[in-house]
Structure 1
Amino acid sequence: MGPLGPDFDVDYNNPSIECNCTFDSNTTCHITKLKVSQLNRQGVILEEIAALTYLTVLKLDQNAFTGTLPTFLGNMSAMLYLSLAHNQFFGTIPKELGNLKELVMLAVSSNNFSGTLPPELGNLRKLELLWASDSPFSGKIPSFIGNWTRLSELRVSDLQNVSSSLDFIVNLRNLKDLIIRNALVSGPIPSDIIRLRNLTILDLSFNNLNGSLPQTLMNMTSLISLNLVANNFKFDSTNISTFPGLNCLQRDFACNRSTNPYTSFAIKCGGSQMRSANGILFETENSTSLGPASFHVNQDKWAVSNGGIVIDRVDPSFIASTTISVDNTRDPELFRTSRKSPGSLRYYGLGLQNGPYTISLFFAETVFNRTRNTWQGHGRRVFDIYIQGNRRQRDFDISKEAGGIARALVKDFSVTVTQNHLEIHLFWAGKGTCCIPEQGDYGPLISAIQVSPDSFMSCLVSSIILKWAKRDKKPYFHDSDVQKKYNDENGTNEKVVGFKVKSKSKKTGMIIGIVAGVASVSLLLLVFGLYMKRKSKHREEDEFLGMGPKVNTYTYSELKSATSDFSPSNLLGEGGFGPVYKGILNDGSVVAVKQLSVASHHGRSQFITEISTISAVQHWNLVKLHGSCIDGARRLLVYEYLENKSLDQALFGKTDVHLDWPTRFNICLGTAKGLAYLHEESRPRIVHRDVKASNILLDGELCPKISDFGLAKLYDDKRTHMSTRVAGTIGYLAPEYAMRGHLTSKADVFGFGVVCLEILSGRPNYDEKLDSEQKYLLQWAWSLYEIGHPLDLIDPSLASFDEEQAKRMIGVALMCVQASPSLRPAMSRVIAMLSGDVEISAVTTKPSYLTDWDFSDITNTFCDDEPTFSENTTTNTTTTTFTTASSVVWSQCHRP
């Protein structure tokens, strides 16, 4: 039973609706409790719920609900428990929630909310639990929280933009759990914290707190878990002895930066010391006291910290053990145990010698059981990997990357150590599973870590020379640094200038020794040369792989074999930058291989762009990049294979795939979600630049996945637009992009609007075979909308369709293709409108349709070179002719 009792317990009557018939002298019944938890439900909160004004419990957590929170929730004045955590809600918290003055619990953690907590929430004086972590809220921690004197649990994290202090906590005498993590909190910990006599969990990690730790904190006997890592506290002999090692885990890491620096270490995470098949000794890291808010230091060489709280688990284990056999490794014992964390797991190298290193992280998913045929078999572990504070992999899923559970996976990262400090951070950002197969911790999981230097050969050469120097004779050194090291190790300041030779035999021995030494050094230099040549090759590949997470590397012969020498029978399609083939790898997995055309202009740049963007961005509605191949001038990409090919093939009768109405609506909504992720959630933000039906692929369940990020353009948050070379497809291009090269995310919104109309009508945006009034889809759609017959646009081959959904799609599409970018909605609002959560206002201005475009002289896709026009007006790299306010006459597209 959960801490809130049977009225709120996760496993108690879920899903359920409970009625109370005691109203009006037992003559009237009202629904008072609604629970739909852990069922992977999607969509928005239905408007029908607005009628349930007598609700005391609304539990919708741990699903996939989206949209903004409806304001009608504020009308449910009897509400006691409102749990919306672990969903995909976005927007701001409505101020109307401040009307729920009886509210005891408010849980909005792990969503995509933004903005500040509205001041109206200060009215919730009876609140006992506030969970508002793992969402990108901004602003200060509201001071009105200090008036919630009944509060027993406060969880806030990941605040942005403005710093806060802890002064508000001193009046919260009933606090048991105080978790304010990564929230830009600054200043000291108040000495009055001793008043919080019931405090058992205190997590203030990853903030900017400073000053000395208050003596009162050390006297709080109620504390069970304490995490103060990654702050700016000052330490003296008193608090160092009370919190040993904590000084090494502050932001400046003042301890052990340069004393006896070392160059490597290996950790057996969650297990005992063992030696691998290749002789690497992995040190023990199996502390059972490494709880949900704690740290552990190993002899000032390396350290580990664990952060996060497991909901409803009194005594969770943070070591995962398994008896199943782990495949794909020579060291299955290395994966028998793993360290796990509910939220944030960090490993630190303390005192490493500065220089380049390779970090090897060893993973295997050993917790989930895919053989279960229930919802409990669908658990997902998703977290981010940071090295030295830089995110190197986002939404990392062990089983997905490894190709299944109980399969070993080693991820290598290159990094440069400065200030003798290394930080490896595995961070759960609220994605994946929290409660499958049971309520627990499904954050980071790691089996081992190995840190090794990249430039080791020069050190080895110096070591060999030094060994020869330590014979019974005094050596001759040309290198003053080596001489100094010799003197330091032998306790002398003598300047050594040469050998004193007394006999022929000794001279002969000396000659043999010198020859052997020179031979050894020569061999080492040869090996070092080969090593550096290999590193040079790796650096060349790094130019393409970028600084992001590495993807799988395939050989050209491997892909050539997989595609039957790129046989035409395996050709899936051909875009502007090369053909795509179906391939079957040696392990039997089916992939799509994109062969980047060498003849394509800027093909190399295209390849780098695809690698850096696709590998860094993962979403359910985006095509997954498995890997790449660099072979001389050849550039190939390996994607997941989508068996139902592209949307245009399905829509326009090129395949046997039948798209009924529910499928079409879901394709439209899924595409919107993928674009919203690119525009608003991925870092950096991404503009696709070529949103069209052929770049939307369909998987086995006809789920849409956006492909072809080769035309994507990254831009910084601080830039509102960029002027760039126009790259896109006629009919889908926004006018400001086509005519002026002005690129923002609203260009993608325009393309989405065109695709939406194609989904509705089942026809392409231009069809010269049709009558003149129907030839251009946008013009025809607007004409039907103007005369009040928008549903005449619907594909006549559909046996049935949802009229309300169709009207929403038409309205949204026409808003998306407006001539002015400012009139087009953001993709997050498109999702809300399609879902019915936001009302669609009437469209009063006609869209931008290019009725004057001349299609006879050019191919469907723009050439990369600048086109030539009938009259020239140069804007950056694009030359255009404005024949009307919203159209362009293209005369030809040529290559010099």
Structure 2
Amino acid sequence: MHNVSAQHFPYSFEFRDLSYNQLSGIFPSWVIASSNLQLNLVANNFIFDRSNISVFPGLNCLQRNFPCNRNSPLYANFSIKCGGQEMPAEGTVYEAEKESSFGPAWYYVTDTGKWAVSNVGRFAERNIQSYVEITLAQVIATSTPELYQTSRMSPGSLRYYGLGLDNGLYNVTLFFAETGFDYRSSQTWKSLGRRVFDIYIQGHRELKDFDISKEAGGVERAILKNFTANVSENYLEIHLFWAGKGTCCIPVQGYYGPLISAIHVVSDFVSNVPGIPPSNRGMKSRLGLIVGIAVPVGVVSMILIFAFIYLKQKSHQYYDEELLGIGLRPNTFSYAELRSATDDFNPSNKLGEGGFGPVFKGTLADGRIVAVKQLSVASHQGRGQFITEISTISAVQHRNLVKLYGCCIEADRHLLVYEYLENGSLDQALFGKSKLFLDWPTRFNVCLGTARGLAYLHEESRPRIVHRDVKASNILIDRELCPKISDFGLAKLYDDTKTHISTRVAGTIGYLAPEYAMRGHLTEKADVFGFGVVALEILSGRLNSDNSLDTEKIYLLEWAWTLHENNQILRLVDPTLSEFDENEAARAIAVSLLCTQASPNMRPPMSRVVAMLAGDIEVGIATSKPSYLTDWDFKDITSSFLSEEDRKHHGDNTDQSQLGDPLPSPINVTETILGGIIEDGR
């Protein structure tokens, strides 16, 4: 510990950062007397009393361990409009952070002590030291572009603090849009600018070398980064740090460092703060806990009286126990709540239907719009998938994975409650009647985001997860046009020590990897193959098989290889696109061809797929046409399979060889399809 005295620091300096030291004591007289001095003294151990608390307003709240409102929290959320005026957006009021005195060694605490900001750094060789970015650009990929018209900049270290927070888990959303550089397609010198910085939450580095434009798929495109933070001592710290990477002098001299447009932090628990009502979701969690305790006690106490009823319902109770016994249990909703939310499962609210059961749009009592997936009572396969989906998706959280809000477990009624994504599924946007048009940057971003989601499941999640049913209808598009992988009913947990899992084949024809369809050998490379097919569908805007096209174009994989071998690969790109980046398109198609190689060993892992798509590493070359296209005359057919006896019975004289069996496998594909494991088409 050190006491601050006059001899430590001369009068000659104007700005000094002394934050995060062990300085202690009271302020010397020269600090109090100097009117031009700018000091950042955040996170020290100074003593404050009536004589000095007004010298640096609010600094007492930003000393070591952030003492204000500790153990008596006042807040459970905060939202900041960085570098701008107060602004309402999507039901949230973002508080103003427009401070003209923002400087190289600077801090600011709100009058309420709810949140604070601290900046360190001076832009080298820059004549005008501006710490706010103001733009009139029409930022896309957001429904609130005005939220991005001002952003806070820092040449070095920018920290935001939530103060007096109730302890628990918080959802942290950071809003970014790169507005300082030109579009890369413009090929001007200003398009060469790169902004790279690190993001820390509660002192832990969450993202290294974060590049806004690369993550968003271009400049002037909005992107949200979501994190989960644990508040244990009544404060939260968000730190954006420039580590010296990126460009320094584009578009002006001394232009670099982190840039952020807005911050939204909200609790993920039932708050005990006076004056803040507990959320409905928290009440439901508490109700679920009470029910979870009361029901087993009631069953045990009454088992002798209701023995006959117990035996009759044994299968249902066994299933419920299996659900209740999963490791990480989501929030529990009552059936009455979900019935009310969906207007008694009104057909007008129906979003779609799969093998699992129908999906309905609903509005919860707290105003959240959700998608409710209802398990068909007669679907025995769906019951197993229901357990798998809860245990799998409850254990993973990622920007490119759909969020599970909770479930309903009441006798035969089993439902899943997901976040609602208004733009629907990718296949609806590409092949259906959706009015959503996907331009080239959006399509490329969907490819990249899907790849990132799969890379997380395969390599970052523990245990590793193989999705098993990667296809366009299982990729949803949110309001920001960000892709989210959904439908984990067929997912498998994968042990790192095993080379593969031998399992019954499940999935959708046209997306199945050869080794999986033929032998039931499952690894994460089966998902890589499915991603390759989906990527080609995204780029071409067509299904993997389409009998309405010319013969040579019916099967997408076969046509892609034909174009590749004739150096005409860009003909594959969707003709409805008025413009596209040829380099990105060629790179994406080359990656897709690598992903659909016959041998799983020749397919790259998804982390490498992400790096190749992003242009961080060179794309490998697929040197030979896969054997399933050459030796087996592979066809991605999506029509029904009929046995020879069935054809004779129906009077069909069509040559069965013309069907082009997709995979000459020992598996009885017809029987499997009828068993509800493999789906037809998309």
| Fold match (TM-score > 0.5) | yes
2:243 is the counterpart of 1:378: no
User: Counterpart of 1:87?
Assistant: 207
1:707-726 aligned within 5 A = 707-726=486-505
Q: Could you tell me which of 435, 454, 470 is aligned with 1:656?
A: 435
User: Counterpart of 1:729?
Assistant: 508
2:674 is the counterpart of 1:894: yes
Q: Alpha carbons of 1:545 and 1:833: their partners in 2 closer, same or farther (altered >3 Å)? A: farther
Q: CA deviation at 1:17?
A: 6.2
Q: Alpha carbons of 1:764 and 1:630: their partners in 2 closer, same or farther (altered >3 Å)? A: same
- Alignment check: 8 A CA contact 1:757 1:813 kept: yes
User: Counterpart of 2:446?
Assistant: 667
1:661 & 1:17 partners in 2: Cα distance? 37
Q: CA deviation at 1:890?
A: 4.7
User: Counterpart of 1:548?
Assistant: 327
- Alignment check: 8 A CA contact 2:590 2:619 kept: yes
SS at match of 2:592: helix
User: Counterpart of 1:513?
Assistant: none
- Alignment check: 8 A CA contact 1:37 1:61 kept: no
SS at match of 1:594: strand
- Alignment check: 8 A CA contact 1:61 1:84 kept: no
Q: Alpha carbons of 1:413 and 1:646: their partners in 2 closer, same or farther (altered >3 Å)? A: closer
SS at match of 2:438: coil
Deviation per residue, 1:313-348 (Å, 9 max, x gap): xxxxx445xxxxxxxxxxxxxxxxxxx7999xxxxx
1:843 & 1:655 partners in 2: Cα distance? 34
1:338-487 aligned within 5 A = 375=260, 377-380=262-265, 398=268, 406=276, 408=278
1:290-689 aligned within 5 A = 318-319=233-234, 375=260, 377-380=262-265, 398=268, 406=276, 408=278, 529=301, 541-689=320-468
Q: CA deviation at 1:526?
A: 9.3
SS at match of 1:831: helix
2:565 & 2:639 partners in 1: Cα distance? 30
Q: Which amino acid aligns with 2:119?
A: D
1:728 & 1:379 partners in 2: Cα distance? 38
User: Counterpart of 1:856?
Assistant: 639
Q: Alpha carbons of 1:539 and 1:822: their partners in 2 closer, same or farther (altered >3 Å)? A: same
Q: CA deviation at 1:600?
A: 2.5
Deviation per residue, 1:42-67 (Å, 9 max, x gap): 9xxxxx9xxxxxxxxx9943349xxx
User: Counterpart of 2:567?
Assistant: 788
1:661 & 1:647 partners in 2: Cα distance? 14
Deviation per residue, 1:235-266 (Å, 9 max, x gap): xxxxxxxxxxxxxxxxxxxxxxxxxxxxxxxx
SS at match of 1:559: helix
1:822 & 1:531 partners in 2: Cα distance? 56
2:512 & 2:624 partners in 1: Cα distance? 19
After TM superposition, the score normalised by the length of structure 1 is 0.43
Q: Which amino acid aligns with 1:816?
A: C
- Segment drifting more, 733-742 vs 884-893: 884-893
- Alignment check: 8 A CA contact 1:629 1:637 kept: yes
2:298 & 2:456 partners in 1: Cα distance? 50
Q: CA deviation at 1:680?
A: 0.9
Q: CA deviation at 1:722?
A: 0.5
Deviation per residue, 1:396-429 (Å, 9 max, x gap): x627999xx9554697999xxxxxxxxxxxxxxx
- Segment drifting more, 550-559 vs 725-734: 550-559
- Alignment check: 8 A CA contact 1:688 1:712 kept: yes
- Alignment check: 8 A CA contact 1:725 1:741 kept: yes
SS at match of 1:629: strand
- Alignment check: 8 A CA contact 2:407 2:415 kept: yes
SS at match of 2:454: helix
- Alignment check: 8 A CA contact 2:429 2:436 kept: yes
User: Counterpart of 2:531?
Assistant: 752
- Alignment check: 8 A CA contact 2:594 2:620 kept: no
Q: CA deviation at 1:616?
A: 1.3
1:731 & 1:589 partners in 2: Cα distance? 36
2:119 & 2:610 partners in 1: Cα distance? 32
Q: Which amino acid aligns with 2:197?
A: D
1:557 & 1:526 partners in 2: Cα distance? 21
1:155-234 aligned within 5 A = none
User: Counterpart of 2:198?
Assistant: 62
Q: Which amino acid aligns with 2:301?
A: G
- Cα RMSD after superposing both structures: 4.9
User: Counterpart of 2:606?
Assistant: 827
- Alignment check: 8 A CA contact 1:869 1:890 kept: no
1:400 & 1:375 partners in 2: Cα distance? 29
Q: Alpha carbons of 1:838 and 1:412: their partners in 2 closer, same or farther (altered >3 Å)? A: farther
After TM superposition, the score normalised by the length of structure 2 is 0.56
Q: Which amino acid aligns with 2:608?
A: R
Q: CA deviation at 1:631?
A: 2.4
2:545 & 2:537 partners in 1: Cα distance? 10
Q: Alpha carbons of 1:856 and 1:636: their partners in 2 closer, same or farther (altered >3 Å)? A: same
Q: Alpha carbons of 1:894 and 1:550: their partners in 2 closer, same or farther (altered >3 Å)? A: closer
1:559 & 1:654 partners in 2: Cα distance? 28
1:833 & 1:401 partners in 2: Cα distance? 44
Q: Alpha carbons of 1:526 and 1:724: their partners in 2 closer, same or farther (altered >3 Å)? A: closer
Q: Which amino acid aligns with 1:851?
A: F
1:18 & 1:700 partners in 2: Cα distance? 40
Q: Which amino acid aligns with 1:62?
A: D
- Alignment check: 8 A CA contact 1:37 1:62 kept: no
2:359 & 2:448 partners in 1: Cα distance? 26
Q: Alpha carbons of 1:555 and 1:782: their partners in 2 closer, same or farther (altered >3 Å)? A: same
Q: Alpha carbons of 1:566 and 1:885: their partners in 2 closer, same or farther (altered >3 Å)? A: closer
1:400 & 1:707 partners in 2: Cα distance? 27
Q: CA deviation at 1:725?
A: 1.3
Q: Which amino acid aligns with 2:474?
A: N
User: Counterpart of 2:587?
Assistant: 808
- Alignment check: 8 A CA contact 1:623 1:705 kept: yes
Deviation per residue, 1:142-197 (Å, 9 max, x gap): xxxxxxxxxxxxxxxxxxxxxxxxxxxxxxxxxxxxxxxxxxxxxxxxxxxxxxxx
2:476 & 2:559 partners in 1: Cα distance? 26
Greater RCO (CA < 8 Å, at least 6 residues apart): 2
- Alignment check: 8 A CA contact 1:545 1:608 kept: no
Q: CA deviation at 1:8?
A: 11
Q: Alpha carbons of 1:741 and 1:560: their partners in 2 closer, same or farther (altered >3 Å)? A: same
1:576 & 1:884 partners in 2: Cα distance? 24
SS at match of 2:579: coil
2:551 & 2:621 partners in 1: Cα distance? 27
2:359 & 2:284 partners in 1: Cα distance? 30
User: Counterpart of 2:115?
Assistant: none
1:837-856 aligned within 5 A = 837-847=616-626, 848=628, 851-852=634-635, 855-856=638-639
User: Counterpart of 1:356?
Assistant: none
Q: Alignment identity in percent?
A: 54
1:574 & 1:646 partners in 2: Cα distance? 12
Structure 2 gaps, min length 5: 1-15, 20-39, 41-102, 107-117, 128-153, 159-174, 179-183, 185-193, 211-229, 240-258, 648-659, 677-682
Q: CA deviation at 1:657?
A: 0.3
Q: Alpha carbons of 1:784 and 1:612: their partners in 2 closer, same or farther (altered >3 Å)? A: same
User: Counterpart of 1:11?
Assistant: 119
- Alignment check: 8 A CA contact 1:819 1:886 kept: no
- Segment drifting more, 820-829 vs 577-586: 577-586
Deviation per residue, 1:368-420 (Å, 9 max, x gap): xxxxxx94751558xxxxxxxxxxxxxxx627999xx9554697999xxxxxx
Q: Which amino acid aligns with 2:591?
A: V
Q: Alpha carbons of 1:719 and 1:407: their partners in 2 closer, same or farther (altered >3 Å)? A: farther
Aligned residues: 441
- Alignment check: 8 A CA contact 2:509 2:637 kept: no
Q: Which amino acid aligns with 2:364?
A: L
